[in-house]
Amino acid sequence: MLIPDVLCEIFKYLDDRDEIVGSRTFRSLHACLLVNRRWCESAVSILWSNPFHRCHKRGGKALVQILLNCLNNEERQDLLEDGIYLPFNKSDTPIFDYPNFLKNLDYYQMILFVRSWCSLLDDTSDQYVVAILRSLLRLFADRSASLSSLTIRSAGLDDDKFMLLASPEVSTLIRPVKHLTISCYFPKDNLLTVLAKNCRNLVS
């Protein structure tokens, strides 16, 4: 029986192969989910290492909902104070601690998916979008997600949502980043200052 570390290396190869050949369905890894519990755990850790990149736009709402289902009662209460009620059904409790698997974050794509999810509330106002973004970033930080890469890009979005990355609450999430990609302009310099302070492990 293959040990988990070996399985992960094999699955990473399958993942890289799908990326090279241009497959965005990730069928190879999805098939591995159905073999047994051990294979499922190893495949899930890779599929959820870069969820916002893997997920098609139409699946963005479901992705955000799964992550919100990972919130505990206290975290849900924080959102309730922001006017967002998340009904809790025990059957919705995730099988895995998905936030812990996050390694690569495309923050712009995350913003788009959160905005899409907020349309379910019939309100895509910045107040709700910012509240959800803040909650998810805290979730990633609290669940010990260790980012390897962070991509920050913008297509005319205001920088307030990006400034959430400068919050001390998410500094532990940002600190391990080795690959930082920024392709936008920020009127406020504070974010770049915080990134420069926290991202001390960058490699060229």
- pLDDT, position 193: 87
- pLDDT, position 21: 45
- pLDDT, position 103: 94
Contacts 24+ apart (CB under 8 A), 51-55: 51/98, 51/102, 52/105, 52/106, 52/109, 52/110, 52/113, 53/104, 53/106, 53/109, 54/24, 54/26, 55/113
- pLDDT, position 124: 64
Q: What is the pLDDT of residues 91-115, one digit of tens each?
A: 788 889 999 999 999 999 999 999 9
CA atoms within a 13 Å half-sphere pointing along the CA-CB vector of 143: 22
- pLDDT, position 6: 73
- pLDDT, position 9: 72
What gap in Å lies between CA 127 and CA 26, rounded to an integer? 34
What gap in Å lies between CA 183 and CA 134, rounded to an integer? 22
What residues of the chain score a pLDDT lower than 50? 20-21, 25
What gap in Å lies between CA 91 and CA 172, rounded to an integer? 31
Residue with tokens 């400068």: 166
- pLDDT, position 190: 79
Residue with tokens 């963005």: 60
- pLDDT, position 28: 67
